[in-house]
Amino acid sequence: MLLGHGTYFSTNPGSHSHLHTAPNDQDQSRVLYYNKVLLGRIYEMNKLDRELQSAPVNFHSVHGTHPGRPDDDEYVIYWYGQALPYIKIIYKA
């Protein structure tokens, strides 16, 4: 789902976040970050909006859902101060 120019997070790394990683050329490992994210008031959205520059007025983040794919939700923040990298996860797939 494209919800504009923000930072995207998923609650299900196996279904979505993994697709945005690339294997290291040397050992084929990949990196994900477990983040603490302040979502605040969440705007629910179930359609594409590539033009979003920020969450709608009176909201702090956007929750995008994919029809027919209940495990593939995304959360988007538009201010980097809302996220804190917490744990670096290195894995091989």
Q: Where are the domains of the chain?
A: 7-92
- For residue 48, the model assigns a pLDDT of 80
Q: Give the residue from 37, 69, 71 showing the smallest Cα distance to 55.
A: 37
Give the architecture (CATH level 2) of 7-92. Alpha-Beta Complex (3.90)
Chain centroid offset of residue 15 CA: 12
* Residue 26: partners with Cβ closer than 8 Å, 6 or more residues away: none
- For residue 84, the model assigns a pLDDT of 97
- For residue 60, the model assigns a pLDDT of 97
Q: Which DSSP category does 19 fall into?
A: G
Quote the pTM value: 0.82
Full pLDDT tens readout for the chain, 93 residues? 578 889 989 888 776 788 889 999 999 999 999 999 999 999 998 888 888 889 999 999 999 887 777 777 889 999 989 999 999 999 998
- For residue 69, the model assigns a pLDDT of 74
76 burial via Cβ count (<10 Å: 0-12, 13-18, 19+): buried
- For residue 83, the model assigns a pLDDT of 96
Q: Which residues pair with 4 in a beta bridge?
A: none
- For residue 61, the model assigns a pLDDT of 97
